[in-house]
Amino acid sequence: MNQTLTLALSKGRIFDETLPLLEAAGIHVTEDPEKSRKLILTTSDPQLRVVIVRASDVPTYVQYGAADFGVAGKDVLLEHGGEGLYQPVDLQIAKCRMSVAVQAGFDYASAVRQGARLRVATKYVQVAREHFAAKGVHVDLIKLYGSMELGPLVGLSDAIVDLVSTGSTLRANHLVEVEHIMEISSRLVVNQAALKLKREKLQPIVDAFAKASLREK
Ligand code: PRT
Ligand code: MG
Q: CATH number of the domain that 22 lies in?
A: 3.40.190.10
Backbone φ and ψ for 177, nearest 5 degrees, come out as -75, 130
Contact 41, 167 (CB under 8 A): no
Same-domain check for residues 108 and 172? yes
Same-domain check for residues 9 and 88? yes
> How many domains does the chain divide into?
2
Q: In what order do the strands lie in the sheet with 159-164?
A: 139-143, 118-122, 159-164, 96-103, 175-184
- Give me the pLDDT at residue 38, please: 92
Find the domain containing 179 and state its range: 96-183
Dihedral of the CA atoms 72, 140, 180, 74 (nearest 10)?
-10
Residue 96 Cβ inside 6 Å of ligand 1? The answer reads: yes
- Taking the centre of ligand 1 as the mean of its atom positions, its distance from the CA of residue 31, in whole angstroms, is 23
Same-domain check for residues 10 and 51? yes
The amino acid sitting at 214 is L
Average confidence (pLDDT) over 15-42? 95
Distance CA 130, CA 162 (A): 14
- Cβ count near 192 (within 10 Å): 13
Mean pLDDT of the chain: 96
Residue 55 Cβ inside 6 Å of ligand 1? The answer reads: yes
Residue 150 Cβ inside 6 Å of ligand 1? The answer reads: no
- Give me the pLDDT at residue 1, please: 59
pLDDT over 80 (residue 57): yes
Average confidence (pLDDT) over 56-67? 98
Same-domain check for residues 88 and 101? no
